[in-house]
Chain A
């Protein structure tokens, strides 16, 4: 499943309005006309700033091995190369691992007749305990397809994607895959260079309540739910994390799809049948020893906190979301994700500006 994203034309480099021209003159330290708006920045510039090494997963290796690659490189997603078809078969991420695990453990659940060929093949292999190749599992969750852009493409093209369900794009050049740009890469770039992007600054200065992000239906489980049930709930509701609640209904922890890596790391499958509270306790404990410091069990902000503060927290903690609460350890009112941030800062595209 290789959906190629071809940009129509790079956005015009010339300043379109008199206002932009004036801004350019008043800020001589900008490195060009294009960088006044964040979405005029070419992709290549972000990759230069990010210093990443490209990790590609061989499509024929089993899912467990692909998961190991993600863990060793500290990433949550990687492109999968299908050498038979000589193309990128898709993106492999932890959500695909969860789907694979749930399928493998669901001996009796009937498969929907409308499911794709790949999915039926995956189910067949998983249930007969045969290794499932990564290229089959990639994109099986249909939430993280392989989108590619070229180096010169401006972020404008990916902005719309990042405001929807796509969280990363592959940047190609003549030699092939140059790198991956994810929502995190862009947000970190913006945050570090915030003084160059006054329009983003003004959005970041507003509170979460003001921006209408303070209420959203959140998926939550109480601490005694088993990890397996929680994963099934996340899969069914198409979310990548959920809130773990105490007996009084306050949020005490967060469970993400990517936490599946702790189960796969040393094949601790018994963790799947523990309660969510025991599982997050185990994860926080291990992480704390690895880092030499413990962290708050849940990352939250108040409705009155600014979006900029929420973004800062997400960057500092390397989390992809923060929960919104009325008071510390209160019930979760909402969740702010990187997708929400992009929705706020990406302008509604005016066709006349191009």
Chain B
């Protein structure tokens, strides 16, 4: 087969696996590309941030349907492409091809699952064995994972990372000088960036008497790597580095996203109905040209749409961009006035590539808000 990235991408959109040799070549070429990228990638708005997808291939296509197909929308993926879902191989192969084809429109950040240790127990290794009969493909991808960047800064304002902060990292420059081209260690700055979580109240502090570092607000994480950190540490990091917000993934959010610490930090989660049973919503964070932030919430791809070629839906024709959500069937959920009506979004005019969809264009004339007023949580419109 001749080398044609567009052909590969079309195949992958149809969920067709590429051959082992092509994957080897793809990984080699992508490593050559990534080795030139620093640990902290600089990306310009407008851009859409995507959280954990965990091999849920059909839901990745949903993301493209909602957010825009590459390269018309610029994307930053925050890691955790593999494990748990049934289509980790297809998912990561697609993303790697998109990165190779449009390197300036796709940024891939490393998550804690982009590691040999984790993929051996959480499913990616087993899936590679099943689909390719041997571990070579797993080896190619895990070697490639060593090259993924560790973080992103959007317009010098929004800091993006998979997990969270580290007691060893006070400035973004310190991230720049790390040696990232290795398996994720179990402790240290690199481990912390992909494993840490924010919490409101850390329970076990690793304060002064036990060690030489005054970690203050950090506490050892129950995950076995990384730390849990609080509001003060977040505030300090933002101040010291002249940043406005931290966006990360790594933790399941039932509503698809979560905003913490007076909007200093947010979590975006992009795998709806996680592991096909958690019943959660998912979201992508759409960042506009003036850094407006919009969490676009969506549900899992309904079963009947799974074999539809997503690319046939063109923005220009004003096609139905109705967001989906879990339930016995998409139509049943659509009939529920409290949820369905609010989530129905129809683009009234053709989308300009990369432009933010204006939620006030939503037709909500026949909508009754629920008495508890929880709608405010679902659509979050912020202006920095």
- Most B CB contacts (10 A, CB to CB) among A277, A288, A316, A329 go to A316
Whole-angstrom distance between the alpha carbons of A293 and B83 in the complex? 13
Whether the pair B210, A292 counts as a contact (CB closer than 8 A) is no
Q: Check A162 for interface membership: any CB of B closer than 8 A.
A: no
Closest to A279 in B: B121
B277 engages A297 (CB within 8 Å): no
Residues of A within 8 A of B184 (CB): 328
Q: Which of B83, B204, B225 contacts A191 (CB 8 A)?
A: B204
Q: Which of B183, B209, B251 contacts A293 (CB 8 A)?
A: B251
B275 to A300, Cβ gap below 8 A? no
Given A252-B120, A289-B277, A294-B122: A308 and B224 interface contact (C-beta under 8 Å): no
Contact B209 A195 (CB under 8 A): yes
16 A-B pairs with CB atoms under 8 Å apart are A284-B121, A284-B122, A285-B275, A289-B277, A292-B251, A293-B223, A296-B195, A297-B118, A297-B120, A297-B122, A306-B210, A308-B210, A312-B204, A316-B204, A316-B220, A328-B117
- A281: interface (CB < 8 Å): yes
Asked whether, in the complex, the Cβ of A281 is within 8 Å of the Cβ of B225, the reply is: no
Is the Cβ of A277 less than 8 Å from the Cβ of B185?
no
Min CB distance B361 to A, Å, is 34
- Whether A293 touches B123, Cβ cut-off 8 Å, given contacts A306-B210, A313-B224, A316-B221, is no
Which residue from chain B places its CB closest to the CB of A308 in the assembled complex?
B210
Alpha-carbon distance A288/B185, docked complex (angstroms): 20
Complex CA gap A205/B123 in Å reads 38
CB of A97 to closest CB in B, whole Å: 24
Picked from A252, A289, A312, A328, the residue with its CB within 8 Å of the CB of B121 is A252
Residue interface mask B176-213, A partner, CB < 8 A = 1:
00000001111100000001010000001010011100
A294-336 interface bits toward B, Cβ cutoff 8 Å, 1 = contact, 0 = none = 1111111010011011001101111100000000110000000
Q: Which 10 A-B pairs have the closest CB atoms?
A: A296-B224, A292-B252, A316-B220, A308-B210, A295-B223, A297-B121, A328-B186, A299-B224, A281-B121, A312-B220
Across the interface, name the chain A residue whose C-beta is closest to B275.
A289
- A205 and B204: CB pair below 8 A? no
Q: Which of B95-148 contact A (CB under 8 A)?
A: 112-113, 116-118, 120-123, 126
Chain B: CB-nearest residue to A251: B117
Asked, given contacts A296-B223, A296-B225, A306-B210, whether A252 binds B123 with beta carbons under 8 Å apart, the answer is no
A315 touches B204 (CB 8 A): yes
Residues of B within 8 A of A195 (CB): 209
Interface size class of A (residues with CB under 8 A): 35 or more
Contact partners of B209 in chain A: CB under 8 A: 194-195, 201
In the assembly, what is the distance between CA of A296 and CA of B183, in Å?
Answer: 13
Q: Mark B55-79, 1 if CB is under 8 A from A, else 0.
A: 0000000000000000000000000
A169-188: CB near B (< 8 Å → 1, else 0) gives 00000000000000000000
Q: A188: nearest residue on chain B (CB-CB)?
A: B204
**Given A194-B210, A300-B186, A294-B278 contact (CB < 8 Å):** no
**Do A328 and B204 touch (CB < 8 A)?**
no
CA of A298 to CA of B197, assembled, Å: 19
Closest B residue by C-beta to A302: B187
Query: Does A309 contact B204, Cβ atoms closer than 8 Å?
Result: no
Q: Per a CB cutoff under 8 Å, which of A298, A302, A315, A318 touches B117?
A: A298
**Cβ B277 vs Cβ A252 within 8 A:** no
Query: Is residue A253 contacting chain B, with contact meaning CB distance below 8 A?
Result: yes
The answer for the CA separation of A310 and B350 in the assembled complex, in Å, is 58
Contacting pair A312 B206 (CB below 8 A): yes
Contacting pair B210 A204 (CB below 8 A): yes
A280 at interface, CB cutoff 8 A: yes
Query: Is B371 close to A, CB under 8 A?
Result: no
User: Which of B84, B121, B277 has the most chain A CB atoms closer than 10 A to its own CB?
Assistant: B121
